[in-house]
């Protein structure tokens, strides 16, 4: 299942909720889009949480949103970048998706 998060982790607990529910789920992937891409930046206080689940679930970030926010040189190693086409592929490859609004 693909989980899509679009909130800054500094604004509310959406990322935490997503990680709590999906962070250990079989076959789960998490895509960070919009303001959630700040969670993908090195040295941010959520880095350890992200890294903790990376062995179990795949973490992606939407490159156009990363770049738009000036985070392109700070991305945590192991987070995979996708463009909008890659976003479409992720939705297609997983049996379903949920946006954590």
Residues near another protein (CB under 8 A) = 1, 4, 6, 13-14, 17, 20-22, 24-28, 33-35, 64, 83-85, 87-89, 91-92, 95-101
Strand bridging mode 80-82 / 29-32 = unpaired
20/42 with CB nearer another protein = 20
In the chain, which ranges are E strands? Answer: 2-5, 29-32, 58-62, 80-82, 97-100
Distance CA 43, CA 69 (A): 16
Q: Kindly state the smallest distance separating residue 86's Cβ from another protein, in Å.
A: 8
User: Cβ 23 to another protein, closest distance in Å?
Assistant: 9
For residue 6, how far is the Cα from the chain centroid?
A: 8
Eight-state DSSP code of residue 98: E
When the beta carbons of 25 and 75 are compared against another protein, the nearer one is 25
If the CB atoms of residues 77 and 96 are measured against another protein, the closer one turns out to be 96
């Amino acid at each position: 299942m693909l989980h899509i998060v679009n909130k800054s982790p500094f604004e509310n607990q959406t990322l935490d909720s997503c990680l709590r529910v999906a962070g250990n789920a079989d076959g789960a992937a998490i895509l960070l889009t919009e303001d959630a891409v700040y969670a993908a930046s090195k040295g941010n206080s959520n880095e350890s949480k992200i890294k903790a689940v990376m062995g179990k679930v795949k973490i992606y970030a939407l490159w156009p949103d990363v770049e738009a926010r000036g985070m392109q040189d700070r991305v945590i190693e192991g987070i995979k970048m996708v463009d909008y086409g890659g976003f479409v592929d992720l939705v297609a490859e997983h049996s379903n998706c949920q946006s954590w609004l």
